[in-house]
Every structure is written in C-alpha cells, then in structure tokens.
Amino acid sequence: MDDGYPGYDTSVGWFQYSDEQIRENARRAIAAGFVALKLKVGSQDSSRDVRRACRIREVVGPEVKIMLDVNQQWTLPQAVRTCLQLAEMSPYWIEEPTHPDDLLAHQTLARTIAPVQIAAGEHFPNRVIFKNFIQARAVHFLQVDCTRVGGVSELTRTAKHCSFTIRW
C-alpha cells in the first residue's frame, strides 16, 4: 500500500461500446498502469456478453482482474446460464447479477457458479440486509453505498457489523 490503494478502470467497457472500442480501451487502461478493469454486461443476448468478456480477456491476459457488472439485468435462470459460460474467462466478480432484494437468487447463484464470486450491496438499504446476504453466503464482495444506507452513521455500523463475517 506504499503506492496507494489499487483501483480499476470503469470506463473500459460501457454497454454501448463496440467490441473494437472495448478492446482499445482495455489496451489503453493497461498501458496507463491499471491491473483491473470493469466491463458492463447484462444484455438480453448473453452471447454478446460472453463474446465481449472473452475479447477483453484475450487483450489483457490472465493476470488482469476483470469485473463484470450486470446492473441487475438478469433473471436467475439467465444469470446461471450466462455466468457458467463466463466462467471460462475467469472473471474476478459478477456484480449485481439479479434483483438486489432477491437473497435466495443470489444464494443459489453463488453456490452454482463457485468459484466465481458475486459483488453486491450497492442497492442494499441497511446493515441487516448485508448481514442476511453474508450469512446466506450470497455475496463475496460488499459494495456499500453511503447515501443509500442512510449516511455515514449507518455506513460505519455496516462496516463494523460486516468486517468480521466477510472472510468466508
């Protein structure tokens, strides 16, 4: 941590970008020193998502972390099917794969696609929801939104509440 906290480039793969543009953006991000990238997925055509993710993996190689952000666009059956296909390109995480309130869908998906991991929490309203997802082993990476959980006080309570349980 002597050089700062690691970050990732979120501008590489916006949903509307062409395949060629995401490849070029990935090359540029790696040249700028990023070792992690985020790609937006969640198309109704899952083959498009798989193709785009695999193309970025081809460009950046196996050492770069690629996070895939679904923005809650998939049903559980779509998520299972597509995540199993995406596993071949070794995503670092699948973010917001389905509706944020659907604990059981996240739990089922986490079990089905392991060792691929799930990131969620951007839309969770409080620490109790985080606790429920953690205890159900339905999330691996917590993404707390300070404004959505009610400010710094609830953010602090959430962090204290979750810090000892997330190590599963």
Q: Is the pLDDT of residue 31 over 80?
A: yes
Q: What is the tens place of the pLDDT at every residue in 124-153?
A: 998 889 989 999 999 999 888 888 888 888
What pLDDT score was predicted for residue 90? 97
Of 77, 76, 80, 66, the C-alpha closest to 35 is 66
Q: Is the pLDDT of residue 122 over 80?
A: yes
Q: Is the pLDDT of residue 168 over 60?
A: no
Provide the 8-state DSSP code for 89.
G
Helices 76-86 and 46-60 meet at what angle, rounded to 10? Answer: 30
Q: Is the pLDDT of residue 163 over 60?
A: no
119 sits in which H/E element: strand 118-120
Q: Is the pLDDT of residue 8 over 70?
A: yes
CA angle at 48 for the pair 42 and 107, rounded to the nearest 5°:
40
Could you give phi then psi for residue 39, rounded to 5 degrees?
-120, 130
- d(Cα 37, Cα 25) in Å, to the nearest integer? 10
Helix (H, G, I), strand (E, B) or coil at 163: helix
Provide the 8-state DSSP code for 165.
T
Place of tokens 């198309």: 43
Range with the poorest average pLDDT among 51-60, 65-74, 148-157? 148-157
Q: Is the pLDDT of residue 37 over 90?
A: yes
What pLDDT score was predicted for residue 123? 92
Confidence of residue 32 (pLDDT cuts 50, 70, 90): very high
- The one-letter code for the residue type at 57 is R
Q: Which residues is 9 bridged to in the sheet?
A: 37
Q: Which residues is 38 bridged to in the sheet?
A: 67
* CATH fold for the domain made of 9-120: TIM Barrel (3.20.20)
Range with the poorest average pLDDT among 50-64, 103-117, 143-157? 143-157
